[in-house]
């Protein structure tokens, strides 16, 4: 089962890389055939087996022998590993499915936000729909409505921070995608844990922000990966974070 999930993850991972790389440029991702970036040769099925093709072709295109970006290999391995980790770490059923969805979103946001400073709408919309359907199936209409309200509330919190940031720094400190992502965080985690994840994201992002300022002299960096990362951390340790909240706010 773990081996199978690793391969499903790797196959999806190579698709997520395509989504995160091509969609922001307005290119078709569903119906266009995969091509070599250097020679535009249409790739055959055996050039597209995740991980194996890259390794057997020694990281080179089999037609023009130019190097293939190693990100293909890493994104495929990372997605496969996240899927296996989800299988071992989360209980079967609702948690497992949501874990796979969060892992997928994390990979897509990592790719598009680090490459183009963009969080795409379509992965967020698909995530929102899938999560709502799963909530409805597993917990019923009332719980789903509460979760949707939590999503909207967290969206509003983020919007408030966005406006505050604009007022303080005289420019946009957060992107529109970050605010929409907050809706997904609230929808999945509910309001309290969603807030915890927002706070956690600032701590997770701090080392990167400092390093980026120090090394690249750049005070703009993608925030989406850190929000999605915090969503991942809090969801996978749901029970521990709930205990933490009860401990900090016993009233």
Tell me the closest approach of the beta carbon of residue 65 to Zn ion, in angstroms: 7
Tell me the closest approach of the beta carbon of residue 48 to Zn ion, in angstroms: 13
Listed in sequence order, the residues at least 6 apart from 9 whose beta carbon sits closer than 8 Å to its beta carbon are: 76, 79, 80, 81, 82, 83, 84, 103
Q: In terms of Cα–Cα distance, which of 99, 106, 101, 83 is closest to 201?
A: 106
Cα–Cα separations (whole angstroms), residue 51 to 61, 72, 111, 241 = 14, 8, 18, 36
Give 61 or 179: the residue with its C-beta nearer to Zn ion: 61
Give 45 or 247: the residue with its C-beta nearer to Zn ion: 45
**Distance separating alpha carbons of residues 232 and 236, to the nearest angstrom:** 6
**Distance separating alpha carbons of residues 169 and 163, to the nearest angstrom:** 10
Residue indicated by tokens 């749901």: 238
Sites of contact with Zn ion (CB under 5 A): 36, 38-39, 61, 63-64
Tell me the closest approach of the beta carbon of residue 59 to Zn ion, in angstroms: 12
Tell me the closest approach of the beta carbon of residue 26 to Zn ion, in angstroms: 23
Give 22 or 192: the residue with its C-beta nearer to Zn ion: 22
Give 36 or 159: the residue with its C-beta nearer to Zn ion: 36
Give 21 or 144: the residue with its C-beta nearer to Zn ion: 21
Tell me the closest approach of the beta carbon of residue 21 to Zn ion, in angstroms: 16
Give 44 or 166: the residue with its C-beta nearer to Zn ion: 44
Tell me the closest approach of the beta carbon of residue 112 to Zn ion, in angstroms: 24
Exposure string of 139-161, with b = 16+ CB inside 10 Å and e = fewer, is eeeeebeebbebbebbbebbbeb
């Amino acid at each position: 089962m773990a081996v199978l999930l690793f391969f499903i993850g790797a196959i999806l991972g190579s698709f997520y890389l395509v989504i995160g790389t091509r969609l922001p440029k307005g290119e078709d991702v569903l119906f266009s055939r995969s091509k070599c970036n250097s020679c535009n040769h249409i790739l055959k099925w055996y050039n597209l087996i995740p991980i194996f093709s890259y390794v057997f072709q020694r990281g080179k295109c089999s037609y023009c022998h130019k190097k293939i970006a190693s990100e293909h290999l890493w994104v495929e391995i990372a997605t496969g590993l996240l899927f296996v980790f989800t299988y071992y770490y989360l209980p079967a059923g609702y948690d497992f499915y949501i874990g796979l969805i969060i892992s997928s979103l994390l990979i897509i946001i990592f790719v598009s936000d680090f490459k183009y400073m963009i969080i795409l709408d379509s992965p967020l919309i698909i995530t929102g729909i899938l999560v709502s359907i799963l909530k409805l199936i597993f917990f019923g209409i009332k719980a789903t409505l509460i979760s949707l309200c939590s999503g909207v509330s967290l969206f509003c919190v983020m919007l408030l921070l966005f406006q505050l940031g604009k007022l303080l720094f005289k420019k946009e400190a957060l992107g529109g995608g970050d605010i929409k992502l907050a809706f997904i965080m609230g929808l999945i985690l509910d309001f309290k844990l969603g807030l915890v994840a927002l706070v956690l994201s600032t701590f997770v992002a701090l080392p990167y922000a400092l390093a980026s300022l120090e090394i690249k002299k750049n005070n703009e960096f993608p925030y989406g990966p850190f929000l999605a990362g915090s969503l991942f951390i809090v969801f996978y340790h749901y029970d521990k974070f709930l205990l933490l909240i009860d401990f900090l706010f016993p009233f």
